[in-house]
Amino acid sequence: MRGLLLGLLLANILYVGLAFALKVEVAEDDNLLTGEESASKVQLISEVDPSQLLSYPRGLGNSRAGDLFPGSSQSIELSPRPFCAEVGGFESLEDANDFIAANAAKIRAALDVRQLAAKSQYRVYLPPFEGREAAVDAIEQLGAALAANNVVIDSFLIPQGELANGIALGLFSEQANAANVKLQLENIGYDVMVKEVQNTRQELKVLIGELESEAIFQGYWVEIQRTRPYLQAVEKLCETIAQGI
């Protein structure tokens, strides 16, 4: 009987020891599995969605420190580059030439006169007559017809040019006005002509040759605006301005 009890006690001790050993081994396996799962979460930058990455300003050469780092009082000094400009708004050719002369000591400049298309006008007229005497008689008869019909239209003898000895009946900026005059004259028996006149306008610009930097031009511009506040200036690529300036 005593031997049986001793055997049961030894069996229980072995069972408890075996169970403890198995529990420790399972815990170590769990820790190992946790480490593998953690390792599986590591990603290369190339594997990350670009939208989740920080974005840095591009074109640092044209930026200031305050743009990159808000609150910073420091600035990045940009190296000066050549600066050219175009000045416009002159009141006359004389005004533009005076501007060039007044600034000749410090600015290389050249006048650029441009002919630009302007709004057309519409000339109403009677075609040329055989001679001046015939044209004078025609204009007298026209005046009488206009008065008889209570129509007021100015008329003039054209003295020279391709329409010499014709009768001018007005020059209009709106085609509808020219058409109205034509209609009034047709109603009293005159077959008149309407001719579109192509116009041009003159634009005066002064081209400023290459300066060392924009800052130098701005210094000059402050002085220019004191005497000519009506002028405007825009930067131009130096490559587009003639080298002869």
Q: With left for phi above 0 and alpha for psi between -120 and 50, is residue 212 left, alpha or beta?
A: alpha
Q: Are 132 and 177 spatial neighbours (Cβ–Cβ below 8 Å)?
A: no
Task: Kindly indicate the confidence band of residue 35, based on its pLDDT and cuts at 50, 70 and 90.
Answer: very low
Longest dimension (CA), the chain: 167
At 241 the pLDDT is 80
Q: Are 237 and 214 spatial neighbours (Cβ–Cβ below 8 Å)?
A: no
At 80 the pLDDT is 74
Residue 202 sits at φ, ψ, to 5 deg, of -95, 130
Domains and CATH numbers, the chain: 83-117+201-240 (3.30.70), 119-200 (3.30.70.1070)
Structure tokens at 205: 């610009």
Q: Report the SS3 class of residue 115.
A: strand
Pairing of strands 167-172, 83-88: unpaired
For the chain, give the mean pLDDT: 78
Tell me: pLDDT of 228 over 50: yes
Closest among 99, 126, 121, 116 to 200, alpha carbons compared: 116
At 222 the pLDDT is 93
- Contacts of residue 75, defined as CB under 8 A and 6 or more positions apart, other chains included, come to 64, 65, 66
CA distance 53 to 186: 79
Least confident of 40-49, 75-84, 149-158, 170-179: 40-49
**Cα angle, residue 242 at apex, residues 239 and 245 outer, rounded to 5°:** 120
Please state the rounded mean pLDDT for residues 61-84: 50
